């Protein structure tokens, strides 16, 4: 057998009982003859509780100290998990991100991994021990300060360690059975995907599928590392995220339908139609630290010499975007700002799109038939996204899922374990 890296999220180690269950699973993997490295997140709500504590003493805690504080969370979970494994008669050694050699830049709160030097992990494995590593954290190469990797950080830790240790697979344990063709809460006929390509998974993640983070998928793709997304509550196979060379004719054209309700739309109304205006608008928004997703510029009204520019961005940044744009209203000379947070986005993702023309047309037709109005459109080589009213999201997802023959056949078991996270 080989080396398996397993990652367990906070919901898999929410309390002592869950920790014991996960410990049992880890020991089974070890007893099957594998070397095992486990990456673990903080238990349950620990991170939120620590953030609340920080807020009690400081409205804007310094980022270095917030990282120091939050990394206590995984320190607790990894030590407790190591104890639970020891209690089953196997040696386990826990390591902080720093001890595991997760070297990052110095961007506290969203550090990027720049090197992984897992010498102590290799030694632990050579000694026959199971290595437990704190997810989400590392140490800055330049300042030697403790850093956190930000959103999806533990998945990234797991993939980075798996790549550095040349693992056979990185198993990401979650509370669902894998990646689905759509959110089963919206589409009961959604199917678990037995496998999906890195590219498709990237587009799904970017389009709102929350089971894996963009960043960890990017990392795995770069190293060609297989990810196995599966449930910590069952022993069923999950979804393999792998390199798929070429298109198998048997593969479905569309892998899945993702949706996203976390964005809002900002419309800059009556922008004078002259060069440099769009640049001024988007450099202002970017300067405020806001990530823009889709952009649509209306055809300029010939009679008015003015145009409307709309874009979508995270709702949590909506107020900041409007505020930033207000400051350049006079400079640009636009007429008004409109803010709309009642939108939703649905995205069709599939590598088969490359070789199958007409996917867009079919999507638009099925949405029209379902009475769903399309407000914005954006495409990549293997994705089509449309913005619709938030109230229409469920209808749109279900209609597209059916139109592209993704619905499970009658009697095909759809297993769904949890919250869609």
Rounded to a whole number of angstroms, the minimum distance from the CB of residue 12 to a second copy is 14
Nearer CB in complex with a second copy: 15/412? 15
Instruction: For CA atoms 195, 197, 202, 207, give the dihedral sign.
Output: negative
Nearer CB in complex with a second copy: 61/252? 61
CA distances (Å), 229 to each of 169, 180, 194, in order?
Answer: 10, 11, 10
In 3-state terms the chain splits into helix, strand, coil percentages (rounded to 5) of 35, 25, 40
Beta bridge partner(s), residue 230 = 173
109-125: b or e for each residue (b if 16 or more CB lie within 10 Å)? eebebeebebeebbebb
Nearer CB in complex with a second copy: 69/296? 69
Candidates 405, 347, 340, 345; CA nearest to 191 is: 405
How far apart, in whole angstroms, are the C-alpha atoms of residue 73 and residue 44?
A: 10
Contact of 51 with 45, CB cutoff 8 Å: no
Query: For binding to a second copy (CB under 8 A), which residues are involved?
Result: 16, 19-20, 23, 50, 53-54, 56-59, 61-62, 64-66, 68-69, 71-72, 75-76, 78-80, 82-84, 86-87, 92-94, 99, 120, 144
Nearer CB in complex with a second copy: 78/163? 78
Rounded to a whole number of angstroms, the minimum distance from the CB of residue 67 to a second copy is 8
How far apart, in whole angstroms, are the C-alpha atoms of residue 21 and residue 418?
A: 17
How far apart, in whole angstroms, are the C-alpha atoms of residue 251 and residue 238?
A: 18
How far apart, in whole angstroms, are the C-alpha atoms of residue 6 and residue 26?
A: 8
Rounded to a whole number of angstroms, the minimum distance from the CB of residue 98 to a second copy is 9
Nearer CB in complex with a second copy: 72/292? 72
Nearer CB in complex with a second copy: 139/170? 139
Rounded to a whole number of angstroms, the minimum distance from the CB of residue 395 to a second copy is 46
Nearer CB in complex with a second copy: 50/278? 50
Rounded to a whole number of angstroms, the minimum distance from the CB of residue 141 to a second copy is 15
Rounded to a whole number of angstroms, the minimum distance from the CB of residue 70 to a second copy is 8
Rounded to a whole number of angstroms, the minimum distance from the CB of residue 397 to a second copy is 41
């Amino acid at each position: 057998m080989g080396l398996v890296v397993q990652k367990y999220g906070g919901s898999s180690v929410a309390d002592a009982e869950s920790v014991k269950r996960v410990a049992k699973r880890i020991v089974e993997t070890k007893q099957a003859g594998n070397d095992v490295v486990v990456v673990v997140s903080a238990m349950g709500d620990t991170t939120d509780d620590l953030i609340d504590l920080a807020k009690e003493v400081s409205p804007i805690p310094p980022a270095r100290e917030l990282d120091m504080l939050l990394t206590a969370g995984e320190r607790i979970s990894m030590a407790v998990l190591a104890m639970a494994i020891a209690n089953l008669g196997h040696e386990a050694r826990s390591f902080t991100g720093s001890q595991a050699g997760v070297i990052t830049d110095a961007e506290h709160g969203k550090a990027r991994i720049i090197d992984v030097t897992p010498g102590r992990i290799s030694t632990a494995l050579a000694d026959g021990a199971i290595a437990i590593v704190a997810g989400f954290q590392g140490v800055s190469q330049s300042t030697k300060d403790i850093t956190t990797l930000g959103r999806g950080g533990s998945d990234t830790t797991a993939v980075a360690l798996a790549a550095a240790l040349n693992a056979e697979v990185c198993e990401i344990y979650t509370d669902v059975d894998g990646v689905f063709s759509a959110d089963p809460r919206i589409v009961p006929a959604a199917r678990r995907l037995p496998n999906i390509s890195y590219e498709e998974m990237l587009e799904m993640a970017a389009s709102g599928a929350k089971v894996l983070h963009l960043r960890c998928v990017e990392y795995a793709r770069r190293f060609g590392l297989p990810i196995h997304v599966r449930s910590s509550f069952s022993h069923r196979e999950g979804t393999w995220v792998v390199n798929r060379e070429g298109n198998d004719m048997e593969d479905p054209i569309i892998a899945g339908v993702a949706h996203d309700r976390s964005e809002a739309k900002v419309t800059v109304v009556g922008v004078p139609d002259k060069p440099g205006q769009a640049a001024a608008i988007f450099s202002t928004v970017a300067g405020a630290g806001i990530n823009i997703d889709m952009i649509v510029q209306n055809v300029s009204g010939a009679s008015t010499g003015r145009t409307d520019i709309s874009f979508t961005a995270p709702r949590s940044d909506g107020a900041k975007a409007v505020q930033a744009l207000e400051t350049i209203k006079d400079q640009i000379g636009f007429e008004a700002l409109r803010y709309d947070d009642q939108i939703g986005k649905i995205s069709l993702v599939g590598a088969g799109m490359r070789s199958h023309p007409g996917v867009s047309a079919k999507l638009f037709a099925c949405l029209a038939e379902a009475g769903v109005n399309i407000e914005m459109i954006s495409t990549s080589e293997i994705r089509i996204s449309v913005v619709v009213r938030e109230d229409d999201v469920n209808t749109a997802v279900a209609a597209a899922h059916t139109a592209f023959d993704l619905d499970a056949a009658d009697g095909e078991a759809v297993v769904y374990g949890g919250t869609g996270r």
